[in-house]
């Protein structure tokens, strides 16, 4: 079995895959991303969660996709102890099967690389991949299977928390979409601004990206993932295919492309 780790700023997601079927995790779980933990602490937590799901002793290999370098080495050490093999880390030099046509391809986040690898298994290009997490990212893949660039926006929850924390008089506000666009109280005004603002922003980006990507009548494939996708994406005018664990699936796909399958 293959253990995939997606290291983000807020959480680390894990997925267990049958090495012969890297498109569907047989189980998944997550832990908080904390640079102050030791590798031993991470190992203890990961082993406990794997044991609770019945996969503690059957893991053979592992793969890591990370956007948090300070945590990468901690998870690397933990996964080495769990599997007895060094994890495959997605980064510069990883064979992807697609071109990265940006100013500095090595700068493209491992999460976007993994997301693209998975998205190309689910949909035909051109594709826009929307990942709603700590940041909201839009990764653009043209009809020639080339990543042409990305958009990175402060995530909806990050913006919401920053506004709530910096405005003392606003009080506690729940993070859910209000019934009306125009709020009739402070809480609804804030949540409408953040959540509806993100909905309209994503739709606006898609409208403009479609104009540039679909000049020959192609259909634009839209893939969404991330922890906030269930809150934002259903209300967008554009219709997305939401794929849970897209980054983990892409990491497993890239492992299969780069490593011998045992």
- Per-residue pLDDT of 95-115, as tens digits, reads 999 999 999 999 999 999 999
* 162 and 68 within one domain: no
- Whole-prediction pTM: 0.91
Q: How many domains does the chain have?
A: 2
pLDDT given for residue 261 in this prediction: 57
Give tens-digit pLDDT for 66-98: 999 999 999 999 999 999 999 999 998 899 999
Confidence of residue 240 (pLDDT cuts 50, 70, 90): very high
* 150 and 38 within one domain: no
Confidence of residue 162 (pLDDT cuts 50, 70, 90): confident
Which residues have a Cβ under 8 Å from the Cβ of 192 and sit 6 or more positions away?
A: 177, 178, 180, 181, 182, 183
End residue of a domain, out of 34, 56, 89? 89
CATH number of the domain residue 197 falls in: 3.30.420.40
Which residue would you say has higher pLDDT here, 21 or 234?
234
* 190 and 71 within one domain: no
111 a catalytic residue: yes
In the predicted model, is pLDDT for residue 161 greater than 90?
no
Task: Note the residue count of the chain.
Answer: 262
What is the overall mean pLDDT for the chain? 92
Considering the candidates 6, 77, 111, 188, report the single residue annotated as catalytic.
111
The dihedral over CA atoms of 191, 151, 113, 121, expressed in degrees to the nearest 10, equals 80
147 in any annotated domain: yes
* 50 and 105 within one domain: no
Q: What is the mean pLDDT of residues 16-20?
A: 91
63 in any annotated domain: yes
* 135 and 158 within one domain: yes
* 85 and 108 within one domain: no
Do the beta carbons of residue 68 and residue 9 sit within 8 Å?
A: yes
136 in any annotated domain: yes
255 in any annotated domain: no
* 222 and 159 within one domain: yes
If you ran DSSP here, which 8-state letter would residue 173 be given? -
* 108 and 77 within one domain: no
In the predicted model, is pLDDT for residue 167 greater than 70?
no
14 in any annotated domain: yes
Confidence of residue 186 (pLDDT cuts 50, 70, 90): confident
Give the domain extent around 172. Answer: 99-244
Do the beta carbons of residue 137 and residue 13 sit within 8 Å?
A: no
* 236 and 106 within one domain: yes
Q: What is the mean pLDDT of residues 186-196?
A: 86
């Amino acid at each position: 079995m293959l253990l995939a780790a997606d290291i983000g700023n807020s959480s680390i997601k894990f997925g267990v895959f049958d090495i012969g079927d890297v498109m569907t995790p047989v189980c998944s779980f997550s832990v908080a991303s904390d640079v102050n933990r030791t590798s031993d602490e991470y190992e203890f937590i990961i082993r406990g969660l794997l044991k609770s799901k019945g996969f503690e002793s059957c893991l053979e290999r592992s793969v890591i996709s990370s956007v948090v370098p300070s945590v990468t080495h901690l998870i690397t050490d933990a996964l080495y102890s769990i599997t007895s093999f060094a994890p495959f880390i997605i980064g510069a030099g990883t064979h992807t099967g697609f071109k990265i046509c940006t100013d500095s391809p090595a700068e493209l986040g491992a999460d976007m690389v993994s997301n693209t690898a998975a998205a190309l298994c689910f949909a035909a290009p051109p594709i826009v991949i929307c990942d709603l997490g700590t940041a909201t990212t839009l990764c653009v893949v043209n009809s020639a299977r080339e990543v042409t660039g990305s958009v990175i926006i402060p995530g909806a929850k990050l913006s919401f928390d920053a506004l709530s924390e910096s405005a003392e008089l606003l009080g506690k506000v729940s993070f859910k979409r209000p019934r009306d666009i125009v709020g009739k109280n402070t809480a609804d005004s804030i949540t409408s601004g953040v959540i509806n603002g993100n909905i309209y922003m994503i739709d606006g980006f898609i409208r403009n990206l479609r104009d540039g990507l679909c000049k020959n009548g192609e259909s634009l494939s839209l893939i969404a993932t991330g922890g906030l996708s269930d809150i934002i994406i259903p209300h967008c005018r554009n219709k997305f295919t939401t794929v849970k664990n897209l980054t983990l699936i892409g990491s497993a796909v890239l492992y299969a492309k780069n490593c011998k399958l045992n």
